A = this chain, B = another copy of it.
Amino acid sequence: MFKITRKLEYALIALRYIQGQSEDKVVSAKEISGVYRIPLQLLAKILQELSKHDILEATQGAHGGYKLKKSLDQMNLTALIKILEGPIGIMDCSIDTKCVQLDICNIRKPINRVNDAIISMFDNLTLSEITGI
């Protein structure tokens, strides 16, 4: 309950690692997978998603890999979560509206306030603040 997914953690670890390398070095999924013991195939898919969303730039073929495409202080945690996991929301009704309790729910408004507070916190958190400097 209320946990960050592994997927997201792997993405952050990778982003921070890539950020720590020299500006124009392309870093392969294999390298990161080795250093942090992240399952290669899984990490690869994550990096591919980040690449598809213009956070990373991929180079194919031998000696290929990834490098940052946009500065990490230009993106917040909300954006990253949306890419990897879709819309954020601590309760169902904040995302879709199939909840049976919806019309009579007596906690919807207050829970929504909590939801907003968390999202706003994520909005104001740049990735560079998470990945250090």
Which residues of A are in contact with B by a Cβ distance under 8 Å? 1-5, 8-9, 12-13, 16-17, 20, 35-38, 77, 81, 85, 88-92, 100-101, 104-107, 110-111, 114, 117-118, 121, 125, 129-132
Contact = CB atoms under 8 A, between A and B. Distances in A.
Given A9-B107, A106-B17, A107-B12, A37 B89 contact: no
A130 B106 contact: no
A87 to B, nearest CB: 10
Contacts of A3: 1-2, 89-92
Contacts of A100: 37
Given A1-B5, A2-B90, A110-B131, 4 more contacts: A1-B85, A2-B81, A36-B104, A117-B121
A125 B111 CA distance: 11
A98 to B, nearest CB: 13
Contact of A13 (B17, B20, B105): B105
A9 B131 contact: no
Nearest to A35: B104
A119 to B, nearest CB: 10
Contacts of A81: 1-2
A130 B114 contact: yes
